[in-house]
C-alpha cells in the first residue's frame, strides 16, 4: 500500500484496536495529519538503514505504529517521532481538547504538536536542539499547521512567555518534573511525563491538590504534588537538571553489550508469558518495592533485574516468571526476586495505573526537580 490517506486510515484502525485511541476527534487528527511531512529528513530503520522520502519503503514505514529515530549522535538516538499508539494514549490521558493551551517539552518532529493542534489545542513546543526545533517548525509550516509553534530553549525552564497552560506534555525521558512546568500550569492543570523508574520511563500523570491543601477523601495529605501511573514506556533521556540523580533512585540500567550471564536458573511460573504491557506492570511493582531494580540484558533479551553492586550479577525476571541469576550472591538474589513476584501475584497483579506516589523536591539543589517518593497501591 503506497497511498498515504489509506495508510493513515489503516493506522487509525490499528490505534483503535490497540485501545489507546477512543476519541473521534483524535482519530480524525491521525487520519488527516500527514506524518510523512514530519519525516522529511528521513528516519532510521533497523533493517533498511536511513529511509528518505521517495524510497520504496518510506511511506509504509512512516505509518507503522512504531517510534521512528530521526537523529543519531555517534550512533546514539537523540531525537525521534514517538510511537503513534503512545501519542494517542498520552493525549487522551491528558484530556487535550479544543481551546486548551498546551506546553510540550521536546518537539521531536512536530507531529505530536500537529495532532494536538488538529483537535483544537494551542501548542507551544520547546526543544533544546536548534536543528530539531528548526525541522519541526518547518514541518508544521509545510503541513499547514497554524495552532502550534516551536521555541528553542531549555526544557527545564518551560516557556513562561506563553503561560499559563492548561496542560503540559513531556515527550523526553526525565528523572523528575520541573517546578517551572508546575508554576506555568493553571490551577487544576494536568501534566503527563515519562519519569524514570527502575530503568524505564513509564508515563506518569502529575497533578496537584486544591490550593486550600485539603485532600479528597481517602487521599493522603502529606504533599501537594502527586503522580499516578499511566503506562509503561521508553523514551530518550534528557540531560541537565531533568536527568539529575537523587539519593533513593534505582541503579542506572545496564546498557551496551554487557549482560547478566546466568549461573542459576529457576523455572517459569506461568505457562503463558506476560505480554509487554503486563510485564511492565510487574516490572513497575518490583521497582516500587525494591530499590535494586533496574533494566539490563540477559540471555539475549532486556528486562527487569535486581542488580548487585558489581552491576554484572543479581537476578533477572523473565516474562514467564522464570528467574535467572548470576554473581556471588545469585541464590540470595533469586530468592528475593521470587518473593517479589509472589507479592505481585498476592496483591492481584496490579497494573501501573493502580500506583500513586507523592512528588518531592530532589536533584540538583540549584535546579531541583519533583521526583516520586514511596509508591503505594
> Cell triple for residue 260?
547478566
Residue 28 DSSP class: H
Measured at the CA of 89, the angle between CA 125 and CA 239, to 5 degrees, comes to 45
**Pair 156, 178: CB distance under 8 Å:** yes
Measured at the CA of 16, the angle between CA 11 and CA 20, to 5 degrees, comes to 105
CA distances 314 to 31, 113, 252, 294, 328, Å, are: 47, 42, 14, 11, 9
Q: How far apart are CA 63 and CA 54, in angstroms?
A: 14
CA distances 299 to 60, 252, 308, Å, are: 32, 19, 17
What is the H or E stretch that residue 191 is in?
Answer: strand 185-194
**Pair 171, 191: CB distance under 8 Å:** no
**Pair 302, 327: CB distance under 8 Å:** no
**Pair 282, 231: CB distance under 8 Å:** no
Active site amino acids: 82
- How many helices (H) and strands (E) the chain has is answered by 9, 18
What is the H or E stretch that residue 277 is in?
Answer: helix 276-289
**Pair 285, 326: CB distance under 8 Å:** no
Amino acid at each position: 500500500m503506497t497511498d498515504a490517506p489509506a495508510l493513515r486510515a489503516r493506522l487509525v484502525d490499528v490505534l483503535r484496536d490497540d485501545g489507546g485511541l477512543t476519541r473521534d476527534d483524535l482519530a480524525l487528527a491521525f487520519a488527516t495529519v500527514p506524518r510523512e511531512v514530519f519525516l522529511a529528513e528521513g528516519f532510521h530503520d533497523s533493517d533498511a538503514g536511513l529511509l528518505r522520502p521517495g524510497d520504496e519503503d518510506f511511506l509504509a514505514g512512516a505509518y507503522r505504529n512504531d517510534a521512528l529515530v530521526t537523529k543519531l549522535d555517534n550512533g546514539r538516538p537523540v531525537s525521534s517521532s514517538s510511537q503513534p499508539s503512545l501519542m494517542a494514549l498520552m493525549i487522551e490521558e491528558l484530556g487535550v481538547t479544543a481551546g486548551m493551551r498546551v506546553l510540550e517539552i521536546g518537539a521531536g518532529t512536530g507531529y505530536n504538536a500537529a495532532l494536538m493542534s488538529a483537535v483544537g489545542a494551542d501548542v507551544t513546543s520547546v526543544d533544546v536542539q536548534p536543528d530539531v526545533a528548526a525541522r519541526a517548525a518547518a514541518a508544521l509550516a509545510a503541513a499547514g499547521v497554524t495552532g502550534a509553534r516551536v521555541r528553542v530553549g531549555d526544557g527545564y525552564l518551560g516557556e513562561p512567555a506563553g503561560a499559563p497552560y492548561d496542560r503540559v506534555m513531556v515527550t523526553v525521558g526525565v528523572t523528575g518534573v520541573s517546578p517551572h512546568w508546575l508554576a506555568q500550569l493553571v490551577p487544576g492543570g494536568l501534566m503527563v511525563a515519562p519519569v524514570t523508574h527502575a530503568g524505564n520511563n513509564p508515563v506518569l500523570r502529575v497533578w496537584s491538590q486544591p490550593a486550600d491543601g485539603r485532600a479528597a477523601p481517602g487521599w493522603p495529605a502529606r504533599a501537594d504534588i502527586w503522580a499516578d501511573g499511566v503506562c509503561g514506556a521508553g523514551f530518550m533521556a534528557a540531560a541537565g537538571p531533568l536527568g539529575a540523580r537523587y539519593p533513593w533512585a534505582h541503579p542506572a540500567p545496564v546498557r551496551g553489550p554487557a549482560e547478566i550471564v546466568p549461573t542459576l536458573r529457576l523455572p517459569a511460573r506461568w505457562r503463558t508469558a506476560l505480554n509487554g504491557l503486563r510485564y511492565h506492570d510487574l516490572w513497575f511493582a518490583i521497582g516500587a518495592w525494591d530499590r535494586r531494580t533496574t533494566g539490563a540484558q540477559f540471555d539475549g533479551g532486556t528486562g527487569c533485574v535486581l542488580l548487585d553492586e558489581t552491576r554484572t550479577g543479581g537476578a533477572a525476571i523473565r516474562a514467564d516468571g522464570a528467574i535467572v541469576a548470576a554473581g556471588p550472591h545469585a541464590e540470595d538474589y533469586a530468592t528475593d526476586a521470587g518473593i517479589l513476584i509472589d507479592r505481585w501475584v498476592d496483591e492481584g497483579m496490579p497494573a501501573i495505573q493502580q500506583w500513586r506516589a507523592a512528588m518531592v523536591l530532589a536533584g540538583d539543589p540549584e535546579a531541583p526537580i519533583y521526583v516520586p517518593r514511596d509508591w503505594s497501591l
